Amino acid sequence: MKELKYPFDVEYLIKNKKKIKRELLNKEGLIEKNIAILGGSTTSEIKNMLEIFLLNYGIKPTFYESEYNKYYEDAVFGNEELDNFKPDIIYIHTTNRNIMNYPTIVDDEDTINQMLETEYKKLEQIWEKLQEKFGAVIIQNNFEYPYYRLLGNKDVSDMHGRINFINRLNDKIYSYINNHNNIFINDINYLSSCYGLDKWANQFYWHMYKYALEVPAIPYLAFNIANIIKSIYGKNKKAFVLDLDNTLWGGIVGDDGVENLAIGPEVPSGQVYAEFQEYIKAHKNLGIILNVNSKNEHENAIAGLNHPAGILKPDDFIIIKANWNPKHMNIKDIAEELNLGADSFVFVDDNPAERHIVEETYEGIGVPEIDVPENYIRIIDHNGYFEMTNFSKEDIKKNELYKDNAKRSQMMATFENYDDYLKSLKMKAEISSFKPIYLERISQLSNKSNQFNLTTKRYSLADIEHVANSENYIKIYGKLEDIFGDNGVISVVIGHIKGKELHIDLWIMSCRVLKRNMEYAMMDELMRRAKEENITTVYGYYYPTLKNKMVKNFYEDQGFTLISEDDKGNKFYKQDVESYKNKNNVIEVEE
């Protein structure tokens, strides 16, 4: 439900929670869970808010709520009602109001350590008793900071300070949690700092109603607890589905061109997108699958993702849908291809209209209301889509399976020879004379290819247009697709015709498709076209640069004959068209 996403309209939630609850109860397939709230302060509104956030996640809670500040008694001494309730989850809502022993300036170190132990043991006793009795999952608050500092700045560094004491106490809680299963931290220390501690600790609510946080902060608390619970029950999101233009970079790649996109360190708007890409990319290691859903020519999308200053590269994505289909239709395809439900996706798009239709189409899909780029990370992050309660090493491995490169090398190991492997990739190439929609990409490739580039001749878009429209050139581009996806336009060859001679002015290929025999497929096609044009001899040139050593012996490898080499290493070759034999036998070529 739209209203239950971060950031919240707190006023609306407080006023309409009953209405919201009624609506959510109509949802189908709710799973029922018993949740006990053991509070050290008033919890009524926490329960109400938690209920609607959980319903929104498809979890229907039945609550047990301890009497006011009876969390310790309920847990340690038991209570018939709680015993009969059989909780699945026990939430312990303690706050710094529940710390009984704080150090004072006159206490010595032993006394303070003793206090710390006393406060900690009280909690440990609660957890052990509850585990022993119920075997339920426990969610424990850490402690938030006090809203005043008796020792000023020293409060944090000196053992007599309350902030220092709370940090030490929290550390003890964490080390217990890190060494035990079925107990999770609810980080109210972080929540209160995001919210603003002075507001969070608004004392009006404590003195009036014994709420340890102000009531308008409760949706944030309840949402955080609900995120932990939904994660425990396997309802985390699993994949990002990302728009490109003005989402992963500033500008529109199809209109502005790759070189004009805002991404990278030069300008503030480029920095913000680069940082956002970093944030998204970091999710890969957490086992989150990245996908693209963009209204774009596929080539443009790939070109944008290959922007040298970009952090995310085409290989980071499992599925790239860059086409002109409606986005919600692409999501259906992505879901089918990944064999995941659309409700496990987080769809990130700067366009509110796209967000709206996707949200209306797929119940439960995560659609963060991102506004300006500098807020993207915060808004996505604070929605808690990927709460890591059950994170394990297996998650990392699981994601490896999705990774193309890992797949490729795994496959390689099982093949007798490299040709067999290449054949298994089911590569399909489109090799054809220049077409208008690719001219930008072709010009771009000629300007940024340095390694697999025989002559390092650069072509502006106007140059490429000239070549495209002239009869005096054979000019072909190659696109390569395999079982792992489409690589887009990755190779370009331009040769000028001089009577019965063809001179190869430009030969470039993207390093992404090295060692795939694409260069043979390109040469076969070049020779076929040369023959059509009644050319008898093709001449090749290699001009060395600092970066193109990898193609030093390119023409030798292609079977050309070396005619001359000067002292700078410039080499000049020729090849008879008549005696040329096709070399590609692993790529299926179409025009």
Partner 1 sequence: MKREEIFERLNNVFRDVFDDESITVSEKTTSADIEDWDSLEHINLIVAVEQEFGIKFNMGEVTTMKNVGEMVNIIESRVK
Which residues form the interface with partner 1 (CB under 8 A)?
10-11, 14-16, 18-19, 22, 42, 44-45, 204-205, 207-209, 211, 215-216
Of 198 and 533, nearer to partner 1 (C-beta) is 198
Q: Which is nearer to partner 1, 14 or 411 (CB)?
A: 14
The distance of closest approach from Cβ of residue 15 to partner 1 in the complex, given in angstroms and rounded to an integer, is 4
Do 64 and 93 meet the contact criterion of CB atoms below 8 Å apart?
A: no
Distances (CA, A) of 388 to 60, 219, 433: 22, 21, 51
Q: Which two tokens stand for residue 51?
A: 């209920």
Q: Phi-psi category of 175—alpha, beta or left, where left has phi over 0 and alpha has psi -120 to 50?
A: alpha
Q: Which of residues 217 and 241 has its CB atom nearest to partner 1 in the complex?
A: 217
Supply the DSSP string of 37-93, one letter for each residue. Answer: EEESS--HHHHHHHHHHHHHTTEEEEEEEPSTT-HHHHHHH--HHHHHH--SEEEEE
In angstroms, what is the minimal distance from the CB of 44 to partner 1? 4
* Side-by-side strand order, sheet with 239-242: 319-323, 289-295, 239-242, 345-348
Q: How far is the CB of 90 from partner 1 (least distance, A)?
A: 22
Selection from 478, 496, 499 nearest residue 487 by Cα: 478
Q: Which is nearer to partner 1, 64 or 542 (CB)?
A: 64
Provide the minimum distance between the beta carbon of 191 and partner 1 in the complex, in angstroms, as a whole number: 18
* Residue closer to partner 1 (CB basis): 205 or 345: 205
Q: Shortest gap between Cβ of 217 and partner 1 (angstroms)? A: 11
146 contacts: CB under 8 Å, gap ≥ 6:
96, 162, 163, 166, 201
C-beta closer to partner 1: residue 13 or 301: 13
- Rounded CA separation 78/126 (Å): 10
Distance of alpha carbon 477 from alpha carbon 471, whole angstroms: 16
Choose among 340, 347, 360: nearest CA to 280. Answer: 347
**Contact of 71 with 126, CB cutoff 8 Å:** yes
* Helix (H), strand (E) at residue 188: helix 188-195
Residue 45 or 144 with smaller CB distance to partner 1: 45
Smallest distance, Å, CB 24 to partner 1?
A: 14
Q: Which tokens belong to 282?
A: 């970091």
Question: CB of 200: closest distance to partner 1 in angstroms?
Answer: 14
What are the residues whose beta carbons fall under 8 Å from the beta carbon of 588, sequence distance 6 or more? 426, 427, 428, 429
Q: Which residue number, 9 or 420, has a Cβ lying nearer to partner 1?
A: 9
Shortest Å distance, C-beta 305 to partner 1 = 44
